Structure formats: structure tokens, C-alpha cells
Structure 1
Amino acid sequence: MGGALLSKSWRTFPEDYERSLYSVKTYKPRKKSVKHVRILLHGPVGAGKSTFINSVNSLFQRRITCGALSDGANWTSFTQKYTTYKIEKSMKESYNFIFNDTKGLEEPTNSGIDIEDIKCVLKGHVRDGYKFDSENQISEDDDLYNANPTLNDKVHVVVFVIPADKISLISGAMRTKMRNIRLAASEEGIPQLIVLTKVDEYCPKVKEDITHVYRSRTLKEQVDKASQLLGLPPNCIFPVQNYHTEMAPNENMNALILVALKQMIDLGEDYLNSQTDEPENE
């Protein structure tokens, strides 16, 4: 792990922060039947899914928040239930995108979330609050099984959350699980991207100054490894630093989080607009 900085950035640091923030805040799906873009976060245990949700919420609330519970031990998945998180705009309103958190991928083949449960999640068959069980997949007899999902219930974009400092340690079994999830999403026509977390823990120069993120040689290498891992192009991979020790929001950290979030919403909107069976707003 090194801290060398390249003389030229391999990506432009996000600009027009206020314009992007306004675009996300005012976003509304064009489909009449859809209330929000549904973003499914998935990845290995300890990758930072829940912390990313908290970081997005911190950006919008302009203060550090911890609504999505996480566990620093990271031995097994802290998230056990299918959980929906909304970002509040006011006491009565939320923004028009939501996150769904799931049980993380665990190393043993027979533990963690099952691929069949993920397929049901993607298709909208799983209701909020369902507790995942690696030995028993959800069935049509379950009270939280949604037999007739609408487009609003389905997942509109899948986000793989992967820690930058653990890519080289991902086993063949874990790689297979992640690729199977990607295949299941692709079969449904659902777009995907990667959020690369813990960039500050991986690169000392980035820990010193987050604006160095796109000049870091080692992070560029990790982006390329993540691309090879799941077969997604580098421009679908977004390095971020989640809030974990900070006591107040940081505009440069927010800029990286925001550019990832905006792409999630844009891809979700593209997917919704490809579903021609749904009427559009006039």
C-alpha cells in the first residue's frame, strides 16, 4: 500500500456541487406509478453499506447522522432484515430516492444472504422487515412475501459496496457470489455500479487530503481491480470516504458522495423510463 500521487488526475474532481445537489433534491420520477428510485446496496460484510447511507443522510441533514445501524466488528452481517431508508426533506416529506440495505455477503458458502432471496428482492417480492435466513429462502407462504409487486416495489439500480483495502483479499467464493448477483440484476435489466469505500484507510495521501483521491496511483489500481472483479467499467466505480470519525460534514467528502448518488439516481431513472408498460407524467 503506497501513497504516490500521479502528476495528472485520472478523473476530474466533482464540480458544480450546488447544481448537482439541487438536481438530486428536486428529482422526481417521470413515471406516475413510481414514487422513488429504489437503490439496493449490497456487498461483503463490513464494506460500509449502512455507513454510506448514514453519510448520504449527513450530507442532506448538514450534520452527522447514524440512523442506519452498523457494527465495527465485521465478523458477520449486522444487517439481518430487508430495510428501507428514506432521506427526510422535512417532517412530512422525503426525497424521491430510497435505499434498501440487505444482509451482507459472508465468506462461508452456506452463510450470508442467499442468491434466491436476492432475486426475489430485485423483482419486488420481498417486503420491508423480512429477516434473511441463509438456510431458508423466502417463500410465497411468508407474510412478508409480495406476490404482486409493482414497478414501484422493484429494485431500480444495484450498488455493490466494496472496501478499497479489501479488494485483493476477496476470495473466489465471494467473487462468485457477487458475480451471480450481478448476473441476476442483468437478467432483470437493472443497471449496476460500484461504490469503493474506505479510500482514506487505503491511501495515506488521501487520508491527508480527500481531494487527492483522483491523483492516487494506488486507488486507480483498486478501481481497475474492482472493474475486473465484477466486469463493470471504471466510469461506473465511485471512490468515497464515508463519515466514521468526523464530527461535522466536509464539503469535499460530500462532493464524492454526491457524484455517486447522482449517478445512482440517473441510472435508476433510465431504467424506469425503459419500462414502457408504465404511463408517464403529463
Structure 2
Amino acid sequence: MGNFQSRPSPKVLPQEWRNGPWGNKARDLQIVKDYQPFKEDVQLRFMLYGPAGAGKSSFINAVDSVLRGKITNRAAADALFHGTFTKKYREYKIPKVPGTQYPFVFNDIMGLEKDASTGVCVEDIKLAMKGHVKNGYKFNPISVISEDNQHYNRDPSLSDKVHVLVCVIPGNTAGLKDDNNPSQLLTEDFETKLREVRLAASDMGIPEIAILTKIDEACPEVGEDIQNVYKSKYLKNKPWETHIDLPLHLARQLPPTFSKSSASRMKERSMGHKAYKIQKGGPPGPPLPFCLQ
């Protein structure tokens, strides 16, 4: 009998189709710690939007946990997909050292729904991008925030405005158009909402990236070993499917190397996620890395 060598799963490629961010955790984390915006006293604001249950809040918790060095759960997230869980416009600043914070902010919003009369109102998203919505505003799916609302910001500063728009799409449903699938996302109403938000961001000069979440549910091989993320045949094709159906630019789609099943192992192994600064109308700029452990 010869030596037995295990064969890779037919769903996993022998080589990575994109170089994974493995082994550079300390370096990447230091880049984040040293990051400063081009203008002093201005916070770089990221706003996450996407379908309800996509994992927007969970992504914020993951970044918060890594940068603070402990497991956090400040952004409440629903473990089950039963419509949108986030109801208010929430701002999350991450403490750096006592008395200081990282110079970037994450904003979590109510999720987009498949039907026109449910989920966050598109006009509210547009106003939030312009800085007119204050932290704590409770979204109303059928009406837009009024100027006399206590959470309406009449005179937004540069820090109040959104600088990077992050579209969060669940990898286990993105690209599907199956009417018999209860998790079907890509209805005509949903695509219309998404298109309106993206066109508004483009008009405002706000760059956008897309993040595929729930990659372990989409590909069991990734759930078993996070380093299979860039070997997965399924995930290799997923950005192309999303580009065709939504569409989102291929160069701006990132499968994060953080999965639901890996949350309990965050203290035991190293992984990485890179969120890239994207120049409007051009190729990705220098990376702004986030390392998850």
C-alpha cells in the first residue's frame, strides 16, 4: 500500500484565485492604528446598507472586537432572518486608548426589504449620506424624516456626511432569482431601491464597496477552514453573479475572511479582512486592512 494523501474537495481549488491576507495580522492592524484622515478633526464615516439580515451589524461587531482586543456586541444583531432587526440609525465609534477614538465611524441602518412598502426608506438613506440624519433616528418605512424632527441635522459638517458606502450582501443568497426561495432577494422592488441608493452615492461622489457575508453558510468548506475562502469555486463565481444581477463592480466586491461559525474561534486563530479605499471611477487604491483574530 502506498502513502495515502487526502484530496481536496471538488468544491475547493488547489490554489487561491486571489492572494489571501494570511500571516500579516500584526502589520495590518498597525496600519489601521496609524491611520489618519487627510483633514484634521474629520472622522471618516462608513455607512453600511443592504438587505435585512445580511450581517451589517455583525460586521461592525467583528471590526469592533478586533480593534478593541475583546469580543464585543454593541451593534445588536439577530441570529435568525426574520426581517430587519436594526430599527434606528446608529453610530459606532471605536475606542483606541483611554480618552481617544479611531478616526473613523461606522453607521448601521435599517435593512432594505424586498417589498416597496417595507424596510428602510430610500430617501432616508440619501439624507443620511448627506449628513442630515442624527444618531438615534428611528426609521419609518413609509415616510421620510421631516426637517422639524429632532434627529434632523439642518447644517451637517464634513464629519457628519458619509464618505464610504458599504453594500453588504449575504453570500448565501446573492445572485439568486428563485421565486420559490423564501430568502429570495432580487425582486424588482429591491433592485430598484439598490439602484437608487447607488446612483445617489455616485452623484454625491461617494465611493462604494461591496462585502459578501455569510460565506461559511454559502460554502461549507469555508466553514471548516477559513483559509479556503479564496479557494472556493462557489465564492469565486459569486462576485460575478452579483455583478450581473445587481450590478456591483467586480473590483469592488470583497468576501470577508470572517464567518459566522468562526466567531467562537476568534481568540484561537488568526484571520484577516481588508476593506479597500476605492477611488471613484477607477481601480482600488491603497488598502485599509482590518485583521480579525
One fold, TM greater than 0.5? yes
Deviations 1:238-280 (A, max 9, x none): 1122456633425866412xx12xx1xx3499xxxxxxxxxxx
Which structure: larger Rg?
2
1:273 maps to none
Provide closer, same or farther for how the CA distance between residues 7 and 180 of structure 1 changes in structure 2, counting only shifts above 3 A: same
Q: State the 1:226 CA deviation.
A: 1.9
The answer to which structure, 1 or 2, has the higher relative contact order (CA under 8 A, 6+ apart) is 1
2:45 is aligned with 1:28: no
In the TM superposition, 1:1-282 aligns within 5 A as: 4-15=11-22, 16-34=24-42, 36-167=43-174, 168=176, 169-170=184-185, 171-240=187-256, 241-243=258-260, 246-249=263-266, 254-256=271-273, 259-260=274-275, 263=276, 266-267=277-278
TM-score (structure 2 length as normaliser): 0.83
Q: 1:164 to 1:243 in 2, by over 3 A?
A: closer
Q: CA RMSD in A?
A: 2.2
1:161 alignment partner, SS class:
strand
Q: Distance in 2 between matches of 1:149 and 1:56?
A: 26
Distance 1:235 1:267, change over 3 A: closer
Contact 2:223 2:261 in 1 (8 A): no
- Secondary structure in 1 aligned to 2:229? helix
Residue 283 of structure 2 is matched in structure 1 by none
Once residues 267 and 20 of structure 1 are traced to their aligned partners in structure 2, the CA distance between those partners, rounded to angstroms, is 18
Which has the larger helix fraction? 1
Work out the CA distance in 1 between the residues paired with 2:219 and 2:29: 27
Structure 2 counterpart of 1:84, which letter? E
The superposition leaves residues 115-161 of structure 1 with CA deviations (integer Å, 9 ceiling, x where unpaired) of 11111001001111111101221111111111111111100000011
TM-score normalised by L of structure 1: 0.86
Name the count of aligned residue pairs. Answer: 262
| Aligned equivalents of 2:269, 2:240: Cα separation in 1 | 23
Letter in 1 for 2:104: F
Cα offset, 1:64, TM superposition: 1.9
Going from structure 1 to structure 2, the CA distance change for 1:65 and 1:89 (only over 3 Å counts) comes to same
Which of the two has greater strand per residue? 2
Offset of residue 233 of structure 1: 2.6
Q: Tell whether the 8 Å contact from 2:170 to 2:214 is kept in structure 1 after alignment.
A: yes
Which residue matches 1:277? none
Task: For residues 155-189 of structure 1, give each alpha carbon's deviation from its aligned partner in whole angstroms, at most 9, with x where no partner exists.
Answer: 00000111100111322221221121111111101
- Following superposition, the deviation at residue 191 of structure 1 comes to 0.4
Q: Structure 2 unaligned segments of length 5 or more: list them.
A: 1-8, 177-183, 281-293
The code of the aligned residue for 2:229 comes to V
Unaligned runs of 5+ in 1: 270-282
Distance 1:76 1:30 in 2: 38
Counting aligned pairs with the same residue, the percent is: 41
Residue type at the aligned position of 1:255: G
Q: Cα deviations across residues 36-64 of structure 1 (Å, max 9, x unaligned)?
A: 21000001111000000111111112222
Tell me which residue corresponds to 1:280.
Answer: none
- Residues 46, 106 of structure 2: 8 Å contact kept: yes
The CA distance in 1 between the partners of 2:229 and 2:191, in whole Å, is 25
Amino acid at match of 2:146: S
Instruction: Kindly provide the CA deviation profile for residues 9-32 of structure 1, in whole angstroms up to 9, marking residues without a partner as x.
Output: 211001533222111111111213
Q: What is the CA distance between 1:76 and its match in structure 2?
A: 2.2
Q: 1:209-259 CA deviation, whole Å, 9 max, x = no partner? A: 111111111111112112223333322111122456633425866412xx1
* C-alpha contact 1:223 1:234 (8 A) present in aligned 2: yes
Contact 1:45 1:76 (8 Å CA) reproduced:
yes
